[in-house]
Amino acid sequence: MSHWTRRHFLGTSGIGLGLLAAGCAPTVSDFAQKSGRRVVVIGGGWGGATAAKYVRLADPSIEVVLLEPNKEFVSCPFSNLVLSGVRSIDSISFGYGGLRARGVRVLHEAATAIEPDARRVKVGDGYIQYDRLIVSPGVEFQWEQVEGLAAAQDRVLHAWKAGPQTVALAKQLQSMADGGVFVLTIPPAAYRCPPGPYERACQVAWYLQTNKPKSKLIVLDANPNVISKTGLFRAAWTKYPNLEYRGSNKVVKVDPGVREVTTELGDKVKYDVVNLIPPQRAGTIVVSADLVGADKRWCEVNHLTYESVKHKNVHVIGDSTTGLPVPKSGNIANAMGKICAVAVTRMLNDKPVPAMAPGNTCYSWVSDREAIAVVNSYKIDGDKVVQIEQKLTPGQSEAWAQNAVGWATSIWQDILG
Amino acid sequence: MPTLVSLLLLLLLAPAVAAGPLDAPGATSALACSACHGLGGQSPSNTMPIIAGITPWYFKKAIQDYAAGKRPSPEMEPYAKMVVQFGVDEIAAYFAGQPRTPSSVKLDAAAVERGRAAAAQCTVCHGVSGKGDASKSVPDLTGQPPGYLRNQMLLFKSDRRSPGDDTLKAVKALMKTIPDEQFADLAAYWSSVR
């Protein structure tokens, strides 16, 4: 185990807490005027935190302000292991001390509006000006697409943004009586983390098999078939006779009163615990800032700089983007964060932007100790990102799981350290 | 006000952009590598090797073998093709020029001592120092993460690393004589060597 543990992150972030205690916590008013060049980053997840760090690495003379309402970064990758009890939420939660140590000014506030013409971001009652803005808002849920969901958000959990909902869903699973039915519903693509729901199915099925052998998992997938690592997941599921998969079963209604979901075809499925992953679009701030395309869901960007095709000086990275042949994954968001950071600093210095392409390494845990993976590499062809190759592991193994742990250890540091 | 004057002079004379860690040739092409191998190739994890300070011949052989499918790896084959696309020589030179720090992965002291007692068999090729010999295409073992070293020994033993590569016959023959449970000890020892 590396010394780069959660303790290290929190230990470093303790400096920040000390400043808070001393009354030195930054506020919006501290950022009202800018003296030098400033990059503002909205969102401290896999894309935004990486971008904030790498702008500072690429050009320490640029001020970087990171707007992230959450005090802790909780990793979506590996969070399905919290549902099965294989890992704790603490083991995937980290502070922002590493970024502060690199000179990133982290402000735990939410940006509520972008004004591209005025080059400023609204935060609370104030504004923060920028020279260039990097927006990495992740996904927002389309609650309205499932009847009854908006009013039942406290009971019908998504756990698709790692954090309190992950812990709450794990508790619901643990509290379910042996013999109960757990229903997992998957939205139509595109959504965050294509293999994530199928990995979750493995983790829930493994947990039930181990702890509640009379129980059953029903997976209702809006897509006609498993959309990622199909053969590998199908092979893994042969070990879980308690898992019933139904493709082309889009859930359109939930009724928590009678504990029932309804599919587009009119089938009604009873549950004891439901995990309803809603349909998704880009984060609200980029929708209201008119950064999304005609589909009103995702943002189109320049493939070399991630600058929005709709507004100058505004760059969008991570799950909110569309048009690149890449999955909505944490590794891709991390890669976009680095590429965008270099592009932004070069543009601010009137220098040419190098051609850089993202890569994607994506592990999925199919039990408590075995994993599978898919890896994609890309190149720049003309001015577009093009895939070079996709490779899958030939099967599942403990060795891939060890590599998954190695990957997570490294990339968490690449984002936050 | 001499301090202020000298400060102003410094500001005037300073280049618009101070040379940072991403200004070295190859640095931006190598950014995709840092997700697993760490910034500048300084991997913090147990299973991903440190490629900071790696000798260019070893880096290039690894990339070429991965890209050609000779060294099977579903993770590295696609990335190796990407490295080739962006220029293997420049990226090799970049990593060779990065300062290398031994792995920070914690080691079991007893395993290190057991490994030390059994390490003579490795030194025939890798030298007493374990630093290898570039003229004979023998790589440096020291300071690498123990998980990575152990995995490679297992892959050599089962002929799953670069099957059919004649240059690896000797190491594979040696690995077949070593019991699996000793690999963790040898890995811990070589990881500990500075």
Taking only the tens place, the pLDDT of each residue in A135-160 is: 999 999 999 999 999 999 999 999 99
Q: What is the distance, to the nearest Å, from the Cα of residue A42 to the centroid of all Cα atoms in its chain? A: 14
Q: What is the pLDDT of residue B15?
A: 44
Distance CA A216, CA A242 (A): 5
Distance CA B148, CA B69 (A): 20
Q: In terms of residue numbers, what domain contains A231?
A: 143-278
Residues A252 and A316 in one domain: no
Residues A295 and A258 in one domain: no
Question: In this complex, which of B21, B32, B105 lies closest to A57 when CB atoms are compared?
Answer: B21
Angle between helix B56-67 and helix B88-96 axes, rounded to 10 deg: 140
What are the beta bridge partners of residue A133? A40, A314
- Whether the per-residue pLDDT at A130 is higher than 70: the answer is yes
In DSSP notation, A378-412 reads EEEETTEEEEEEEEE-SS-BHHHHHHHHHHHHHHH
Pick the last residue of a domain from A278, A298, A330.
Answer: A278
Question: In this complex, which of B18, B28, B39 lies closest to A61 when CB atoms are compared?
Answer: B18
Check: CB of residue A336 under 8 Å from CB of residue A318. yes
Q: What part of A 362-401 touches B (C-beta under 8 Å)?
A: 373, 375-379, 388-394, 399
ipTM above 0.90? Answer: yes
Residues A122 and A79 in one domain: yes
What are the beta bridge partners of residue A217? A182, A243
Cross-chain residue pair B20–A60, CB shorter than 8 Å: yes
Check: CB of residue A342 under 8 Å from CB of residue A330. no
For tokens 């503002």, name the residue. A40
- Whether the per-residue pLDDT at A13 is higher than 80: the answer is no
CATH assignment at residue A189:
3.50.50.60
Residues A111 and A18 in one domain: yes
Q: Is residue A34 part of a domain?
A: yes
Residues A134 and A185 in one domain: no
B181 contact partners, CB below 8 Å, separation of at least 6: none
Q: What is the mean pLDDT of chain A?
A: 94
DSSP A296: S
Q: Is residue A135 part of a domain?
A: yes
Residues A296 and A272 in one domain: no
Q: Is residue A408 part of a domain?
A: yes
Cross-chain residue pair B78–A389, CB shorter than 8 Å: yes
Check: CB of residue A96 under 8 Å from CB of residue A44. yes
Residues A316 and A410 in one domain: yes
- Whether the per-residue pLDDT at A10 is higher than 80: the answer is no
- Whether the per-residue pLDDT at A4 is higher than 60: the answer is no
Residue closest to A327 by CA, chosen among A299, A359, A356, A301? A359
Residue closest to A330 by CA, chosen among A396, A416, A392, A233? A416
- Whether the per-residue pLDDT at B40 is higher than 60: the answer is yes
Q: Is residue A377 part of a domain?
A: no
Pick the last residue of a domain from A215, A249, A278.
Answer: A278
Residues A315 and A331 in one domain: yes
What digits encode the pLDDT tens for the residues A353-364?
Answer: 999 999 999 999
Number of domains composing chain A: 2
Phi, psi for B47 (deg, rounded to 5):
-105, -20
Confidence of residue A25 (pLDDT cuts 50, 70, 90): low
Strand intervals (E) in A313-370: 314-316, 321-322, 359-365
- Whether the per-residue pLDDT at B4 is higher than 60: the answer is no
Which of residues B4 and A270 earns the better pLDDT score? A270
Q: What is the pLDDT of residue A19?
A: 42
Domains of chain B, each with CATH number or no CATH = 24-101 (1.10.760.10), 106-194 (1.10.760.10)
Residues A251 and A307 in one domain: no
Residues A239 and A257 in one domain: yes
Cross-chain residue pair B45–A406, CB shorter than 8 Å: yes
Distance CA A5, CA A321 (A): 31
Q: What is the pLDDT of residue B6?
A: 53
Residues A92 and A50 in one domain: yes
Q: What is the pLDDT of residue A120?
A: 97
Distance CA A119, CA B18 (A): 26
Q: Is residue A197 part of a domain?
A: yes
A103 contact partners, CB below 8 Å, separation of at least 6: A56, A60, A64
Q: Is residue A363 part of a domain?
A: no
- CA distance, residue B74 to nearest chain A CA (Å): 5
Pick the last residue of a domain from A235, A257, A278.
Answer: A278
Residues A314 and A244 in one domain: no
What digits encode the pLDDT tens for the residues A164-219?
Answer: 999 999 999 999 999 999 999 999 999 999 999 999 999 999 999 999 999 999 99
For tokens 């997570």, name the residue. A408
Question: In this complex, which of B35, B46, B79 lies closest to A2 when CB atoms are compared?
Answer: B46
